[in-house]
């Protein structure tokens, strides 16, 4: 159990929280970043570290893992404290805020920025075969190289399922995607690429049984017909059950138990508590990394003015603040 004190506590070390840590440091705030997962990177690290991301400004294409590591490196000159593997549970409000964690830590902060994404996320279980998790059934594909030479069946029709099919297609012996509907929910371009690839697509299909221990085959029903697919790895990509959990008890205005309602300064209904990224909501909100980066910059700048009412919301142009040794700073060559 530890006590610490910072200017701003960022709850959630996903891409948006990590960029917030850089931005808060650049604005002269001491910062801690708290996450229930053991590694930074949020959904990227947990779900698609090897996927190429094409819609982050300045990068024509960047692997998820690389983006996270760049974000950590960008914040590093400002030495944010990382409290990983512990969930934020309680919020006490007095002159400052105190957030308590599952590890029993208490973090005192003058302002809080919640970048909790979809909250604590648990994969949606397979209707059948979930008991074989770890015996050939998986929910994530953190190390695609381990799929070399394997028959892979992916179950699902969203972005994760299609992205993993495309990622594993050049590595695995075979990739089959099984989806219960006719149309995929994933990005249309990804679906088009998959349709032109060697991925076998089985639609309007249900998994009837997962056979073997470890898994050897999957039985699927397509209409009246039953098919047996060879399978060394079954990737269950049926989405996630998101739960804001303890954040629901913080007294913030919440939309449909999933999103924190914010105003144009990214302030929640509790002054001094801001939100950015996937967790926040306002009319027209688009849940992407690019939009989250802008939101957290706005949140940090407004938090600066909340902490010190004499400070300006506008930061000036940040090249003036570049840390020593970083490109553009007075000390860089």
Ligand X SMILES: Cc1cc2nc3c(=O)[nH]c(=O)nc-3n(C[C@H](O)[C@H](O)[C@H](O)COP(=O)(O)OP(=O)(O)OC[C@H]3O[C@@H](n4cnc5c(N)ncnc54)[C@H](O)[C@@H]3O)c2cc1C
Q: Which positions lie near ligand X, rule CB under 6 A?
A: 11-17, 34-37, 42-44, 47-48, 53, 55, 87-88, 115-120, 159-160, 163, 245-247, 277-279, 287-290, 292
* Closest distance of CB 331 from ligand X, Å: 31
Cα–Cα distance between 155 and 217 in angstroms, integer?
Answer: 13
172 vs 232: CA distance, rounded Å: 10
How many CB atoms are located within 10 Å of the residue 137 CB?
Answer: 23
Three-state SS for 145-179 is HHHCCCEEEEECCCHHHHHHHHHHCCCCCEEEEEC
Q: Give the residue with the Cβ less far from ligand X, 11 or 231.
A: 11
Sheet holding 205-212: strands in order across? 205-212, 215-222, 225-230
Nearer to ligand X, 117 or 272 (CB): 117
Shortest separation between residue 186's beta carbon and ligand X, angstroms? 9
Output the smallest distance, CB 286 to ligand X, in A: 9
CA pair distance 81, 63, nearest whole angstrom: 25
Question: Under a CB-based contact definition with an 8 Å cutoff, are residues 33 and 86 in contact?
Answer: no
Q: How far is the CB of 257 from ligand X (least distance, A)?
A: 13
Q: Least distance from C-beta 239 to ligand X, angstroms?
A: 9
Provide, rounded to whole angstroms, the least separation between the CB of residue 129 and ligand X: 21
38 within 8 A of 85, measured Cβ to Cβ: yes
Tell me the residue number closest to ligand X, measured at CB.
117
Give whichever of 192 and 308 is closer to ligand X, judged by the CB atom: 192
Nearer to ligand X, 61 or 209 (CB): 61
- Closer to ligand X at the Cβ: 218 or 247? 247
Q: Which is nearer to ligand X, 35 or 232 (CB)?
A: 35
Q: Tell me the C-alpha distance between 93 and 89, whole Å.
A: 13
Distances in Å between the alpha carbon of 23 and those of 10, 29, 332?
11, 9, 20
Task: Report how far residue 50's alpha carbon sits from residue 56's, in angstroms, rounded to the nearest whole number.
Answer: 15
- Which residues neighbour 56 within 8 Å (Cβ) at sequence distance 6 or greater? 62, 67, 289, 290, 293
Shortest distance in whole angstroms from residue 87 CB to ligand X: 4
Question: Closest CB to ligand X among 7 and 35?
Answer: 35
């Amino acid at each position: 159990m530890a006590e610490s004190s910072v200017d701003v506590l960022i709850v959630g070390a996903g891409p948006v929280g990590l960029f917030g840590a850089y931005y808060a440091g650049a604005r002269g705030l001491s910062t801690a970043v708290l996450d229930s997962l053991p590694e930074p990177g949020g959904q990227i690290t947990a779900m698609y570290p090897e996927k190429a991301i094409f819609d982050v400004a300045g990068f024509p294409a960047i692997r998820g893992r690389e983006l996270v590591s760049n974000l950590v490196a960008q914040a590093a000159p400002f030495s944010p404290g990382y409290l990983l593997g512990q969930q934020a549970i309680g919020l006490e409000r007095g002159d400052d805020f105190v957030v308590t964690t599952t590890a029993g830590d208490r973090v005192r902060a003058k302002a809080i920025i919640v970048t909790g994404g979809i909250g604590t996320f648990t994969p949606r279980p397979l209707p059948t075969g979930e008991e074989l998790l770890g015996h050939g059934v998986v929910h994530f594909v953190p190390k695609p190289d381990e799929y070399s030479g394997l028959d892979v069946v992916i179950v699902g029709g969203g972005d994760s399922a299609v992205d993993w099919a495309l990622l594993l297609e050049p590595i695995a012996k075979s990739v089959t995607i099984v989806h219960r509907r006719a149309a995929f929910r994933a990005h249309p371009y990804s679906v088009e690429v998959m349709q032109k690839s060697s991925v076998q697509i089985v639609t309007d299909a249900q998994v009837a049984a997962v056979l073997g221990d470890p898994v050897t085959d999957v039985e699927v029903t397509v209409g009246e017909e039953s098919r047996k697919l060879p399978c060394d790895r079954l990737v269950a990509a049926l989405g996630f059950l998101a739960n804001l959990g303890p954040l629901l008890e913080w007294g913030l205005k919440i939309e449909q138990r999933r999103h924190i309602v914010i105003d144009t300064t990214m302030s929640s209904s509790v002054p001094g508590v801001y939100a950015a990224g996937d967790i926040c909501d306002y009319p027209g909100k688009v849940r992407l990394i690019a939009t989250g980066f802008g939101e957290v910059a706005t949140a940090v700048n407004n938090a600066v003015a909340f902490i010190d009412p004499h400070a300006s919301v506008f930061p000036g142009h940040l090249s003036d603040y570049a840390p020593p040794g970083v490109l553009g700073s007075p000390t860089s060559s």
